[in-house]
Amino acid sequence: MRIPCPFCGDRDLTEFTYLGDATIARPDPEGPDAAQRFYEAVYLRDNPAGLLDELWYHGAGCRTWLRVTRNTVTHEVRGAVFANPHAATGAGA
């Protein structure tokens, strides 16, 4: 598996660390149903068989967080963008 880092280019899997599903947002801690929403965000997963947007950290490269679209059935990597949309402007990529 190789991940096309938008800053470093195509790099080997070993340079990256996995965090998981990128679609989970941190709930509002002040919300009325915060406890339930945090339970859902921390524990419940869609766990799709197919395309999944996920967070990978390029620790042995540019040390930025990437949002990678990958197929969990075939391990095909569709593409990767910076998880933080402002990362590209400061990097000069």
Partner 1 sequence: MKQALSGHRGWGPAWRDAEPKSAYDIIIVGGGGHGLATAHYLAKVYGITKVAVVEKGWIGSGNAGRNTTIIRSNYLLPGNNPFYEFSMKLWEGLEQDVNYNAMVSQRGVLNLYHSDAQRDAYARRGNAMRMHGVDAELLDRDAVRRLVPFMDFDNARFPIQGGLLQRRGGTARHDAVVWGYARAASDRGVDIIQNCEVTGFLRDGDRVVGVETTRGAIKAKKVGMAVAGNTTKVARLAGLKLPIESHVLQAFVSEAIKPFIAGVVTFGAGHFYISQSDKGGLVFGGDIDGYNSYAQRGNLPIVEDVCEGGMAVMPAIGRVRMLRSWGGIMDMSMDGSPIIDHAPMPGLYLNTGWCYGGFKATPASGYCFAHLLARDVAHPTATAFRLDRYATGHLIDEKGSGAQANLH
Which residues of the chain form contacts with partner 1 (CB under 8 A)? 1, 12-14, 18-21, 36, 39, 42-49, 52, 54, 70, 72-75
Cβ at position 25, least distance to partner 1 in Å = 16
* Of 9 and 20, CB closest to partner 1: 20
* 67, 24 Cβ separation under 8 angstroms: no
Q: Which helix (H) or strand (E) segment is 37 a member of?
A: helix 34-43
* Environment class of 49 (CB within 10 Å of its CB; exposed 0-12, middle 13-18, buried 19+): exposed
Extract the tokens encoding 72: 């969990």
Q: Which is nearer to partner 1, 25 or 49 (CB)?
A: 49
Residue 30 or residue 46: which is nearer to partner 1 going by CB? 46
Query: Least distance in Å: CB of 21 to partner 1?
Result: 8
